[in-house]
Amino acid sequence: MLDHRLGEEHDLLRETVREFANDVVAPVIGDYYERHAFPYPIIREMGKMGLFGLPFPEEYGGMGGDYLALGIALEELARVDSSVAITLEAGVSLGAMPIHKFGTEEQKRTWLPRLCGGEILGAFGLTEPDGGSDAGATRTTARLDEAAGEWVINGSKCFITNSGTDITGFVTVTAVTGTDADGRRQISTIIVPSGTPGFTVAPGYSKVGWNASDTHELAFDDCRVPQANLLGELGRGYAQFLNILDEGRIAIAALATGLAQGCVDESVRYAGERKAFGKPIGANQAIAFKLADMELRAHTARLAWRHAASKLVHGEPFKHEAALAKLYTSEAAVDNAREATQIHGGYGFMNEYPVARFWRDSKILEIGEGTSEVQRMLIARGLGVGG
């Protein structure tokens, strides 16, 4: 029988992160967001709290926690702001997790302690201008110069989170490294440290949302890194990426749940304060029913991501549940953001109100780390239908 009640440690973490989000993040994040500025002081404090090391072993500087702990932290942060939450999610799930799961002991010792402490951020370079959901269509190449003992990388990546901050330590990129015996392209993953000659970070994007997070296009022009920078097995890069994404979908689902709940919190508060025709608008059944539906979505979203996380933590197959959670929670976040904006009326269209950020931030949740269409495809396959 599944029990989604939190243990003492997880509950203490939830309270601690919620207090941090309310007292430290909420008062200042709107200014960072409007300036499209990365919130270095906030990220620094999150590092000191150990949030970037939550699911990693203590021997590498981590907190010795699990993926449920990470999800709890992400949900509480996203109740206030998604830019901060996605910085943590990408830093852990896409930056540090590949090193932890597939790195050599030397790679772990080199990178994980600084990643866990929030001193540096790692990024994962997968998406390319001509390859979004079709991640297997990678065009970036990495040729091994055996005489020099170096990989020579050429190509480009786009929409890469945490890739151009002042504290970005490296980007792990997927690249074609050869051809298998059956003629299929061999895709591997390679660590490229920031500042490597031939590795160029383009100016940040002008985005609809997540404006206080860091996102860039990357270019590699005869970029050379040591042969030892291969991450995991040669030719297993695509399989490794799929493994990372399955876990990452749970993290995104937790983040989406936080946004959905944040919409409820702000709307309930506003509905109790805003008066029309002599009474709070929350006294009107039309508004009350909207709030009830929003709470239902947030509650169900929480059950979905915690169910998937529980299976992951207990070593059970979780791919199907992760897709279910990612699909439901992302769509719940979009629906709640739309309704929250409607409840706030004209004020919901003003950036000074948190729900305006929530509305702008929600849509990407149906796209990033696997679109809603991809999730439906995965769920259908799990049912044995859909080809």
Give the per-residue SS3 of 332-377. Answer: HHHHHHHHHHHHHHHHHHCCCCHHHHHHHHHHHHHCCCCCHHHHHH
Q: 237 vs 102, 241, 343, CA distance in Å?
A: 10, 6, 46
pTM attached to this predicted model: 0.95
Mean residue pLDDT of the chain comes to 95
Taking the mean position of all CA atoms in its chain, how far away is CA 152? 29
The pLDDT score that the predictor gives to residue 386 is 83
- The tens digit of pLDDT for each residue in 117-170 reads 999 999 999 999 876 656 567 899 999 999 999 999 999 999 999 999 999 999
Q: Where in the chain is the domain with CATH 1.20.140.10?
A: 239-382
Q: What confidence category does residue 58 fall into, taking pLDDT thresholds of 50, 70 and 90?
A: very high
pLDDT of residue 204: 95
Q: Give the CATH H-level superfamily of domain 239-382.
A: Butyryl-CoA Dehydrogenase, subunit A, domain 3 (1.20.140.10)
Kindly tell me if the per-residue pLDDT of 304 is higher than 60. yes
Q: Are 312 and 250 in contact (CB under 8 A)?
A: yes
Q: Are 345 and 281 in contact (CB under 8 A)?
A: no
Residues of the chain within CATH 1.10.540.10 domain(s) are 8-121
Q: What's the CA dihedral at 362, 81, 119, 7 to 10 degrees?
A: -100
Can you name the residues that pair with 179 across neighbouring β-strands? Answer: 185
| DSSP string covering 50-101 | TGGGTTS-GGGT-----HHHHHHHHHHHHTT-HHHHHHHHIIIIIIIHHHHH
For 270, residues 6+ apart whose C-beta sits below 8 A from its C-beta are 281, 343, 344, 347
Q: Predicted confidence band at 329 (pLDDT cuts at 50, 70, 90)?
A: very high
pLDDT at 373 over 60: yes
What pLDDT is recorded for position 135?
Answer: 59
Q: Quick check: 356 pLDDT over 60?
A: yes
- CB count in 10 Å sphere of residue 336: 32
Q: Which residues of 105-121 are buried (b: 16+ CB within 10 A; e: fewer)?
A: eebbebbbbbbbebebb
Confidence of residue 77 (pLDDT cuts 50, 70, 90): very high
Dihedral sign from CA coordinates of 28, 29, 34, 36:
positive
- Kindly list the catalytic residues: 369
Rg (CA), the chain: 21
> Rounded distance, CA 350 to CA 156, Å?
37
The average pLDDT across 63-76 equals: 96
Mean pLDDT of 312-322: 95
Domain 8-121 has CATH 2.40.10.330: no
Mean pLDDT, to the nearest integer, of 78-97?
97
Which burial class, exposed, middle or buried, applies to 182 when counting CB atoms under 10 A from its CB (0-12, 13-18, 19+)? Answer: exposed
Read off the pLDDT band of 1 (50, 70, 90).
very low
Q: Tell me, which fold does domain 123-235 have in CATH? A: Butyryl-CoA Dehydrogenase, subunit A; domain 2 (2.40.110)
In the chain, pLDDT over 70 holds for what percent of residues?
Answer: 97
Give pLDDT, residue 184: 84
Rounded to whole angstroms, the Cα distance separating 286 from 273 reads 16
- Residue 251 clears pLDDT 80, i.e. is over it: yes
More confident residue, 137 or 174: 174
- Calculate mean pLDDT across residues 275-293: 94
Range(s) within the chain of domains with CATH label 2.40.110.10: 123-235
What is the rounded distance in angstroms from the CA atom of residue 103 to the CA atom of residue 96? 10
Average pLDDT in the 317-340 region? 98
Average pLDDT for residues 61-72, to the nearest whole number? Answer: 95
Reported as a single tens digit per residue, the pLDDT across 6-53 is 788 999 999 999 999 999 999 999 999 999 999 999 999 999 999 999
Report the distance separating Cα 382 and Cα 372, nearest Å: 15
Closest CA to 52 of 33, 36, 65, 41: 65
Task: Inform me whether the pLDDT recorded for 2 exceeds 60.
Answer: no
Q: Where are the alpha helices (DSSP H) in 129-284?
A: 237-273
